[in-house]
Amino acid sequence: MAEPLLEVTDLSVRFDTDDGPVHAVDKLSFTLDRGEVLGIVGESGCGKSVTCMSLVRLLPETAVISGRAVFDGTDLLSLSPRGLRAIRGRDISFVFQEPMTSLNPVLKVGRQIGEVLTKHLGASRREARERTIELLHLVRIPAPHRRLDEYPHQLSGGMRQRVMIAMALACNPKVLIADEPTTALDVTIQAGVLDLMRDVRERLGTSIVLITHNLGVVADIADRVLVMYAGRKAEEAPVRDLYAEPQHPYTIGLLGSIPLPFEGETEDGERPRLREIPGRVPSLRELPTWCAFADRCPRADELTRSTVPELRYVRPDHLVACFHPGPE
């Protein structure tokens, strides 16, 4: 097998805040192959977004990052800021959760897409404009030549997310990192955006990292799934195996709590939560020296509460960090 496009080894991210350090990610390793769709799943605060943003250093200055992240032969984490800027938006690009706030409200969308092209490909204004129309066409925005001169607030939420995707695809990136790309959208529009991403992978061969708290979304599109809990990897497997035979009690809990279709938003406007798992995510102020999930786990015992479980293979490509793995 060819070497992976992205190989992350022992990635740790710590935030030094006024109230002491917060360990957001702890010694995480994973790989991403060319043309692969990797889903990273977990509750909010489990470190999934931080992981991806740390790769191209989009985190605030308080973040302390260690480990290795070899992308196409270069270690991203030891790259100079200049070198990193050449990769951001060109080889690795992002789609963020909030299409509302992630676009600059005072710049026309055409300009916001176009500046990626002028920056990375040295396109002239006219070339950028033509290519932008193509891109908007690609993400299935009707009447692209008109949309080009509109401001973000003139577009619907779904349209804005398509603009974000067009922007991310502008330079034919090798990796597209989509951080909860559908969470802020209406259920009916979510499907369209996921469809688009599937299409992008098939047509352009882009590798996609899909970050979500929704296993339903992952099932739709991912090849492989990585389940994170409290900054660590809990389980990793091809998507079929994970759904057919989840090993980690946390994964089993997540699968039991997939929100039903059309449930969408809860009454108070919050996103659907994974309510079925009792208890809360532990504070990340200090790294636990036992299984972080122990407090919420029906299978917890003395061993779980005293030792950190190592990741081990239960099948050739199925990893789990649990002393008592296996389906219910």
Q: Which stretch binds another protein (CB under 8 A): 114-122, 140-148, 248-256, 258-266?
A: 114-122
The nearer residue to another protein, 164 or 185, going by C-beta atoms, is 164
Asked if 103 interacts with another protein (CB under 8 A), we say: yes
- Rg over alpha carbons for the chain, rounded to the nearest Å, is 20
Select from 27, 34, 68, 119 the one that contacts another protein (CB under 8 A): 119
Select from 44, 101, 188, 289 the one that contacts another protein (CB under 8 A): 101
Contacts with another protein by CB under 8 A: the residue count is 30
Name residue 284's amino acid. Answer: L
* Cβ neighbours of residue 58 closer than 8 Å, sequence gap 6 or more: 88, 94
Nearest Cα residue to 184 out of 227, 153, 213, 206: 213
Nearest Cα residue to 87 out of 112, 63, 49, 55: 55
Tokens of 120: 């990375």
Asked if 105 interacts with another protein (CB under 8 A), we say: yes
**Minimum gap (Å) between residue 117 Cβ and another protein:** 10
Beta-ladder partners of 68:
9
Select from 4, 34, 58, 189 the one that contacts another protein (CB under 8 A): 58
Q: Which stretch binds another protein (CB under 8 A): 103-111, 223-231, 294-302, 313-321?
A: 103-111
Select from 30, 71, 96, 229 the one that contacts another protein (CB under 8 A): 96
- State the binding string over 73-92 for another protein (x if CB under 8 A, else -): ------------xxxxxx--
Asked if 175 interacts with another protein (CB under 8 A), we say: no
Asked if 207 interacts with another protein (CB under 8 A), we say: no
Burial class (CB in 10 A: 0-12, 13-18, 19+), 72: middle
- Distance between alpha carbon 168 and the CA centroid of its chain, in Å? 14
Question: Dihedral of CA 265/267/273/276: which sign?
Answer: negative
